[in-house]
Each structure stands twice: as C-alpha cells, then as structure tokens.
Chains A and B, each alone.
Chain A
C-alpha cells in the first residue's frame, strides 16, 4: 500500500523558515518524480514544485522560486521542501504526491498545515 506522510508544518512568522518532509512507502521511491502541491480556500490547489527521480531536474512555481528548495533523499525514501522568506500568502495545506510514469499525482499524502502569521 502506497503511503505518503507529510510532517514539519506549523506556525511561523513572516520572513521565517520551515522544512517540510514527506516520508514515502509502498512503492520504489527512487524511481519516480515527486511533487509538492498546496491548497487554500481562496486559491484552491496550486502546484508548488517537482523533483525528478534522481534529483537532476527541478521545477518551481513562479510564486516560490528563489525562496523554496525541493530535495529528496532516496536512501531514506523522503522528500523535502525547504521554505524560507515565508509570506502570509504561503499559508496553506501542503501535500506531497508521486508521479509514476505517465500517471501524475498518483497518490497524495494527508497534508501538513503551514501558517505564516505574526
């Protein structure tokens, strides 16, 4: 059974930093790209970033480029999102999802809530 478990969310002040993690199991993590998506009531679902299976390809949304860094540790089956320079508009539930071949966003985690507020 595929499982994706996000962690690391919480309350952070504007300008602060946070690192999210996504622990994966139930599939061969090192073979597939992984993605972060966030969701707010106002903006709905927003793609944040995708990393290739072997960390040789990265893509970022314009809204986070230069502030967020996606990475992965295939030996630990874990995906990360390092967030810095956080803004109020980064407040959202952050989900990780896997891309398996031609099937994008195949499975989603339960999400972790990030709140940026003073």
Chain B
C-alpha cells in the first residue's frame, strides 16, 4: 500500500500569514496514463471532508485562490497564502493513483 506521510501534524498560524503542509508518498504517484492523482481535502470542525485540490494543483470549484498545490512524484505541498479564520480545521492529502486509496494522517491548522 502507498503510505502518505504529512508534516507537520499541527500548524499554529497567525491570521493573514501563510501556511504550508507537506505530504510525502511511499510510492511514485504518477499513473500509467501520465496523471498524478494527489488531492488535498479540508475538514472543518464538525463537517465532512471537502475537496480543495485535485491532480496535484487543480483547484476544485468554489475553492479560494488562497489555496494552491504543487509537487511531483512523491513530494507534494499545500500552501495557504493568507490564513483566515475559516481555514481552521484538519487538512489531508490523499492518493487515488492506485488501490487501496490512502490518506495522510492529517494536519491541524489553528490560529495562534
């Protein structure tokens, strides 16, 4: 199975400042079709997960442009350009290149 490892596990951030979360996969996530199916999800308190980024850097419909994804192969990053109060929650990376689908442990973003 492809293990997804996120760092840090907790990220206290000042409002208006940037935040960055890293995700490393134990296997290369490039699919045989050439796409890389690495996604980022946000889970606000008491809510189900919500898709933010898919295929490494594609922002999903309705997602703020403060969120951006980058990376390739086995190393990926989610960046929040200016953290707002509504960004508080847990962020997960996940891969859909292969079965079983796997998720990172989650990174908790909180306001300092």
- A109 CB within 8 Å of chain B: yes
- A106 and B60 CA atoms in complex are apart in Å by 8
The interface of chain B, by Cβ under 8 A from chain A, is 35, 37, 39, 41, 48-51, 54-55, 60, 92, 94, 96, 99-103, 105-106
The interface of chain A, by Cβ under 8 A from chain B, is 35, 37, 44-47, 50, 59, 61-62, 95, 99, 102-111
Check A45/B60 contact, CB under 8 A, given A59-B100, A102-B37.
no
- A105 and B49 CA atoms in complex are apart in Å by 9
Instruction: Out of B55, B94, B96, B99, name the residue touching A45 (CB < 8 Å).
Output: B94
The answer to whether B51 and A105 touch across the interface, beta carbons within 8 angstroms, is: yes
Instruction: Out of A46, A61, A95, A102, name the residue touching B49 (CB < 8 Å).
Output: A95
The answer to whether A108 and B50 touch across the interface, beta carbons within 8 angstroms, is: yes
Nearest Cβ distance between residue A106 and chain B, in whole angstroms? 6
Nearest Cβ distance between residue B107 and chain A, in whole angstroms? 11
- A50 and B98 CA atoms in complex are apart in Å by 12
Nearest Cβ distance between residue A10 and chain B, in whole angstroms? 19
- A117 and B66 CA atoms in complex are apart in Å by 43
Check A105/B41 contact, CB under 8 A, given A47-B100, A47-B102, A50-B99.
yes
Nearest Cβ distance between residue B100 and chain A, in whole angstroms? 5
Chain B residues near A47 (CB, 8 Å)? 100-103
Nearest Cβ distance between residue B15 and chain A, in whole angstroms? 27
Check A109/B48 contact, CB under 8 A, given A44-B106, A102-B37, A102-B55.
yes
The answer to whether B103 and A46 touch across the interface, beta carbons within 8 angstroms, is: yes
CB pairs A–B below 8 angstroms (15 shown): A37-B101, A44-B103, A44-B106, A45-B49, A45-B94, A47-B103, A61-B100, A95-B48, A104-B39, A104-B54, A105-B49, A107-B51, A108-B48, A108-B49, A109-B48
Chain B residues near A62 (CB, 8 Å)? 100
Q: Considering the complex, give the chain A residue whose CB is closest to the CB of B48.
A: A108
